[in-house]
Amino acid sequence: MTDAAGDDDSDDGEHYFTADPTAPFRRVPVSTNVWGHWLELTTGSGVFAQGRLDVGTGVLLREAAPPEQARSVLDLGCGYGVIGLAIAVAVPGCRVTAVDVNRRALVLANENAAQLGVADRFTGCLPEDVPGDASYDQIWSNPPIRIGKDALHELLLRWLPRLEPEGTATMVVGKNLGADSLARWLAERGYPTERLASAKGFRVLHTRREA
């Protein structure tokens, strides 16, 4: 797997959580090996991690095993789709819903799904387009920490209740961006959280929804 260092914003001076980036739309290819599968993907301007696999996502996919028993997965804050697409490719029986507020990211994620031949099991969409009764075995995420603590907490409390009983969430968060305090906060709200791994300044957190 290849990865490269980078900050938490897009490469065009706009936040990756901007709904409609104004930067000219440039497509940039990236290739990465995840769980033994080569993924040929397209990234783009105005989208998080243009032209690269960011370090945090690289840590997440290297330190966590593919969810082989999962049948429904949510990729929360999907960007150009690498996490959810890696899961869809590695776990043929799994359906992936990938959500993001950045419309350009969703265009890329769905294009990448078609290119990889998993468009029948991968759907990139806006959060408001997810059916209200949808639930998931697992949530995977490199969450948008830069939206601020309150907004992040609101985001997680919106989606974690959609986990099936005993469902889990696997997330990567920078240690210096509050990974340990986030783990404590989640536990206090009924989502026991443990550190699965720690590498390159990131924590991989494993969160469980109690029955």
3-class SS letters over 161-207: HHEEEEEEEEEEEEHHHCHHHHHHHHHHCCCCEEEEEEECCEEEEEE
CATH of residue 116:
3.40.50.150
**Residue 168 forms part of a structural domain:** yes
Check pLDDT > 90 for residue 203. Answer: yes
Note the maximum CA span of the chain.
47
The range of the structural domain enclosing residue 151 comes to 55-208
Phi and psi at 148, nearest 5°, equal 105, 155
* Global confidence as pTM: 0.90
Total domains present in the chain: 1
- Could you tell me the pLDDT band of residue 182, with boundaries at 50, 70 and 90? very high
- Could you tell me the pLDDT band of residue 22, with boundaries at 50, 70 and 90? low
**Residue 7 forms part of a structural domain:** no
Percent of the chain beyond pLDDT 70? 89
* Pairing relationship of beta strands 163-174 and 202-208 according to DSSP bridges: antiparallel
| Dihedral over Cα of 101, 211, 202, 41: its sign | negative
- Could you tell me the pLDDT band of residue 210, with boundaries at 50, 70 and 90? confident
**Residue 129 forms part of a structural domain:** yes
| Angle, vertex CA 108, rays to CA 48 and CA 43, nearest 5 | 45
Q: What are the tens digits of pLDDT across the range 123-151?
A: 999 999 999 999 999 999 999 998 999 99
Task: Work out the average pLDDT over 83-94.
Answer: 98
* Pairing relationship of beta strands 95-99 and 72-76 according to DSSP bridges: parallel
**Residue 147 forms part of a structural domain:** yes
**Residue 30 forms part of a structural domain:** no
